[in-house]
Structure 1
């Protein structure tokens, strides 16, 4: 893994372009668009008017990056931040930084937000957050789909949480009130306790995971039938 902390936006995007062009990088993450400050803004004085510099920088950079990404197959992820438009009375006042170029060039755009109260361990320490993700743009698959899951600090997406949620959704895991059960045997009371039970019993968790994957597996022959119709 390579980590770079450039001095300004131009330098950051030049480094990204060189890495992508090399073909040696599969994924590059730019965190964040809001921090891509143009060189002239950094070298200028506080209070100087620098309207549109960042948007111009992003537009120029993305025109160059798009073709290079297409040739190398590198996945380029831009993390952005939300701002509120001034004086908006109707509609959504939220917008992203860096102008409109990234919105147009991106193949997929995800709106990621905290969706509930923080997740705490048995000692009351905050260990993660529940997250809701909406696909606001997708050139590769149907857009506007929504996913909810837990992000645990230092771990990432909680796999045990996914097993519990999808297990209940597919009726592989039973849920009655706050109790969870598997094959008519109660396993835990409360979602966090059920997650801990899965973590403590990895073989059972793997067995449930395989059953969930079998439920979501496409029916045999469905692709061949569709191909024949075409």
Structure 2
């Protein structure tokens, strides 16, 4: 009996302890019934007595909690890597190492200079200094503005291409005319045998001081161009045109003989050689080219059915590529007197490309430069426009035709206007510079 009562008493105490909440300094979590699919957790606050016993009785549990809290503060995985990279700093600049590298560089340059000569070695002052780009005007102020540097750069290749009768040869002759105005000496290779001296003189070109040649093969012509470029005395060389260049191997083969890409191979080899000659020369080489229908399609080319002659070498070596196209006919009453053309700067290594200029071309006279000068002078305030009339240096002209005729007949007034416009349009802006 006594043992049974003791056991009953112990079981009652255990059940009482289980029914009482624990209050040993730890938070008690109870889960209520979920509402709307979510479980609700509530935390019972421990009593003050429990806090006092925590340091004495539950040290291991306290350390576990501290470890858990520490792991929450430290990022893991990719986050920790990203934060560590953000905390990295650049290496401290070492003056001793920089001095050592500079000394090694100068030693290498001196060895190259002794072994290969001064012209083939690197020079920080020569190759990393900047210089102004010398240019030759095109004869059209609108085109010079589209080019961005006031003309075509000296010492470079320039390609002019387009459809037939679009003003390609006329533009080349205007470039020669402007170079002669600056006192330059020019050469014209008439490969197409289409040059009319009287027409060239009517455009203002001085044919007495112009070298004209008609070589009998592509090899002879390109060799002559290389020789004239090396001499350094020629300012402009015009080849009209690349499409008419005939290699000697094609001359020797009967009509109908199969020779593939002979012209392209010769152009690639010759341009590479002439390119090295241009480094020490200020000669502008203008190559007039034609277009052909092509089945090849190149990405980014809007005219998928057209391609230039002579292969792809000229496209790469050219610093400027100009594409000419016809717009509309210019008429005086019922008579056709000229042609409106558009010039697009397809490639430009010295300024932003893809600019356009719309020009007027008068048969037998060349570009309508007077019209451009009159329009630009009105925009700059040099010539005052009053209604339909124009006030030019104190003289009033009732309409546009009379004002243009005055500029065409008075070369001194025209050159003065062009000089003022070039100074306002190009010299006031920052000069284009390139790394030499």
TM range (shorter): 0.7 to 0.9
Which one of the candidate residues 283, 292, 298 is aligned to 1:83? 292
Q: How many Å separate the matches in 2 of 1:5 and 1:23?
A: 21
1:144 paired to 2:354: yes
1:174 paired to 2:394: no
Is the alpha carbon distance of 1:119 and 1:105 closer, same or farther for their aligned partners in structure 2, counting shifts above 3 Å? farther
Which one of the candidate residues 350, 375, 383 is aligned to 1:165? 375
The alignment partner of 1:37 has SS state of coil
The TM-score normalised by the length of structure 2 is 0.43
Q: How many Å separate the matches in 2 of 1:206 and 1:62?
A: 36
Instruction: Report what 1:94 is aligned to.
Output: 306
Matches within 5 A, 1:53-202: 53-86=262-295, 91-92=302-303, 93-118=305-330, 120=332, 124=335, 126=337, 128-170=338-380, 172-174=383-385, 179-182=388-391, 187-189=397-399, 191-200=400-409
The alignment partner of 1:143 has SS state of coil
More displaced, 141-150 or 62-71?
141-150
Is the alpha carbon distance of 1:49 and 1:72 closer, same or farther for their aligned partners in structure 2, counting shifts above 3 Å? same
More displaced, 52-61 or 197-206?
197-206
Are 1:163 and 1:208, in contact at CA under 8 Å, matched by a contact in 2? yes
Q: How many Å separate the matches in 2 of 1:131 and 1:18?
A: 35
Q: How many Å separate the matches in 1 of 2:412 and 2:264?
A: 51
| Superposition deviation, residue 201 in structure 1 | 5.6
The alignment partner of 1:129 has SS state of strand
Q: How many Å separate the matches in 2 of 1:71 and 1:208?
A: 34
Larger radius of gyration: 2
| Structure 2 residues without counterparts, runs of 5 or longer | 1-209, 431-436
| Superposition deviation, residue 82 in structure 1 | 1.4
Report the count of equivalent residues. Answer: 216
**What do residues 70-111 of structure 1 show as CA deviations (whole Å, max 9, x unaligned)?**
1122111111011121376x9412211111000000111111
Instruction: Report what 1:25 is aligned to.
Output: 234
| Superposition deviation, residue 216 in structure 1 | 2.9
Q: How many Å separate the matches in 2 of 1:66 and 1:113?
A: 28
| Superposition deviation, residue 154 in structure 1 | 4.8
Is the alpha carbon distance of 1:28 and 1:148 closer, same or farther for their aligned partners in structure 2, counting shifts above 3 Å? same
Q: How many Å separate the matches in 2 of 1:116 and 1:143?
A: 24
| Superposition deviation, residue 182 in structure 1 | 3.0
More displaced, 90-99 or 62-71?
90-99
| Superposition deviation, residue 218 in structure 1 | 5.4
| Structure 1 residues without counterparts, runs of 5 or longer | 224-230
The TM-score normalised by the length of structure 1 is 0.77
Q: How many Å separate the matches in 2 of 1:143 and 1:61?
A: 26
Is the alpha carbon distance of 1:105 and 1:187 closer, same or farther for their aligned partners in structure 2, counting shifts above 3 Å? same
Q: How many Å separate the matches in 1 of 2:405 and 2:349?
A: 38
| Superposition deviation, residue 186 in structure 1 | 6.5
Q: Relative contact order (alpha carbons < 8 A, sep ≥ 6): 1 or 2 greater?
A: 2
Are 1:28 and 1:74, in contact at CA under 8 Å, matched by a contact in 2? yes
**What do residues 21-43 of structure 1 show as CA deviations (whole Å, max 9, x unaligned)?**
22232211111000111111121
Q: How many Å separate the matches in 1 of 2:212 and 2:411?
A: 34
More displaced, 139-148 or 195-204?
195-204
**CA RMSD, aligned part only?**
3.3
